[in-house]
Structure 1
Amino acid sequence: MTTCVSPPPSLRPRRPQRPRRLLGQNTDLRRSGVWSWTLPALATRLPDGRTVRTCPAAGVCSQACYARSGHYNFPAVLARHQANLAYVLDDLGGWQRQMAAELSHERFRGGWVRVHDAGDFFSDHYLAAWLRIIAFRPAVNFYCYTKEVARFRRLVEPAPPANFRWVYSFGGREDHLIRPEDRVADVFPDENAIHAAGWHSQDENDLLAVLGPAPVGIPANNIPQYRRRQGSRTFRQWQAELDARRSEGRRARTPPPGRLKDAL
């Protein structure tokens, strides 16, 4: 007769802890009555050692990202955002069902949910899951800022849900894919710079990014080191400068056609 001995509690595999609530409100979004879903900004190393890039198309924005400073770095806040990401990675179907169930609550009916206070649509599967949730909850309105231009061209623009709005935000590696007819947002040094450029600030209410006049200007956050890095440029101008330097560097490293033939 074989006796089964259970391993001590410390050695038993633990079921991952899932967030009890998926949506929250930060101070700024609460003013507008907006709920949000959040991931770690740019990239993170999860407790199990996995490194995940949550903003694949990020460019210069990563050098002045509000979600990489302040309370976002508090251990409890970071742990919560990492738990959100782990849930998506390890149980996308379970996360989708829980999100859809949470959105059935009456408080969300007719309201607005911002997809990503930090982070972005880092994979096709993840974006597709959000599109299913959005379509399943037509009584709730959803919006986002995104730099995943190519991904949205393929997966969203052909048949967008009626209750989903988005704005392409400058400062990413796919800025060159943005078209004149797209709704866009750019980060300016301050409110005066926004008005001088003839753009429209969303500072009073974040929903102006998708409901107000376009193009949309965002005043830079008052974080001294980020403001110094940005200087008097917008994110669009900053990214264009970086892209131009990289292009020049590639040309400098490429030998002229005649010299290439000689080498062969």
Structure 2
Amino acid sequence: MATDWLLTQNTRMREQNLFNWTLPAWVVRLEDETPDGTTIVRTVNTCPMASVCKNFCYALEGAYRYPNVRRRHERNLRMVLDTPLLWKQRMAAELRHPRYQPDPERGRAGYIRIHDAGDFYDDSYTLAWLDIMRGAPSGLTFYAYTKEVSRFRRLVETNQPTNFKFLYSLGGKEDHLIDRTRDRYADVFPTLTQLEAAGFSSQAASDILAVDGPPRVGMTANRPRKQLTASFGELQRAHDALAAERRTRQQAKARTRH
């Protein structure tokens, strides 16, 4: 019988000997039946800080929509929501398996990516991951891209495990909180030419750039549902500027009424 692993690999990760933990992306509808036959419906946003990025998200299309893939991702989310202690125990135990341990002769680097879909959507989930990292076998390195800037400022930056590396990811509601002179961050571009012109380093050759690579890591759009006309960061700046203009007009109207 095949092992029911929590950490998996897609084709690209297999080529790079990386492993990944994932959740279903963005707003998820979970339907569960109770013993008495009642159907309980829950709506969970696993990417609460997503903004313009959700319009082009690769994790909302393609293989991520296959029923077997979707079921697995929803299984992961249910574990985190309904049995968080069991999930932590299973994850901690699985990380001790030899397949995750660094082995240069076999090309194993010992890197674990947290979320190729989903994000650190609440405090308790984020803290659980920090506990898992601290208890992981030596030699393993965890990494993540995240749009949860304020949450990471509060919970992670002040108490960051030594085996955890992360980049902030542009295209979210908290882009304005990213310090581009100090923080490492990532952006998604329509083309490699635009990526390089903006001064970013492409991670096409290896996602390990996210671990100890340059301060600005870029990637090109992976067959987005809509045509990407600018980078996520540029689109978010335009989105935020329009929102600010609307607020200014609304405030001006409110003042004229009084």
Task: Mark yes or no: TM-score above 0.5.
Answer: yes
- 5 Å matches for 1:43-122? 43-48=27-32, 49-110=41-102, 111-122=110-121
Q: Amino acid of the residue matched to residue 34 of structure 1?
A: L
Query: Which segments of 5 or more consecutive residues in structure 2 lack a partner in the other structure?
Result: 33-40, 103-109
- State the partner residue of 1:241: 238
Q: Amino acid of the residue matched to residue 234 of structure 1?
A: S
Structure 2 distance, partners of 1:40, 1:258, is 44
Deviation at 1:256, TM superposition (A): 6.1
User: Aligned pair in 2 of structure 1 residues 189, 259: CA closer, same or farther (>3 Å)?
Assistant: same
Deviation at 1:211, TM superposition (A): 2.2
- 5 Å matches for 1:220-239? 220-223=221-224, 225-226=225-226, 228=227, 230-231=228-229, 233-239=230-236
Q: 3-state SS of the aligned residue for 1:118?
A: coil
User: Aligned pair in 2 of structure 1 residues 108, 243: CA closer, same or farther (>3 Å)?
Assistant: same
Structure 1 distance, partners of 2:254, 2:188, is 41
Q: 3-state SS of the aligned residue for 1:158?
A: coil
- State the partner residue of 1:184: 185
Q: 3-state SS of the aligned residue for 2:117?
A: coil
What's the Cα RMSD here?
A: 1.4
Aligned residues: 239
Deviation at 1:222, TM superposition (A): 2.7
1:169 aligns with 2:166: no
Query: Which segments of 5 or more consecutive residues in structure 1 lack a partner in the other structure?
Result: 1-18
The 8 Å contact of residues 121 and 148 in structure 1, kept in 2 or not, is answered as: yes
Structure 2 distance, partners of 1:240, 1:170, is 10
Runs of 4+ in 1 over 3 A off after TM superposition: none
Deviation at 1:258, TM superposition (A): 5.7
Partner deviation per Cα, 1:131-164 (whole Å, 9 max, x = no partner): 0000001421100000000000000000211100
The 8 Å contact of residues 31 and 205 in structure 1, kept in 2 or not, is answered as: no
- 5 Å matches for 1:103-142? 103-110=95-102, 111-139=110-138, 140-142=140-142
Q: Amino acid of the residue matched to residue 245 of structure 2?
A: E
Structure 1 distance, partners of 2:25, 2:255, is 46
Deviation at 1:252, TM superposition (A): 1.0
- State the partner residue of 2:220: 219
The 8 Å contact of residues 171 and 187 in structure 2, kept in 1 or not, is answered as: yes
1:201 aligns with 2:202: yes
Percent of residue pairs bearing the same amino acid type: 48
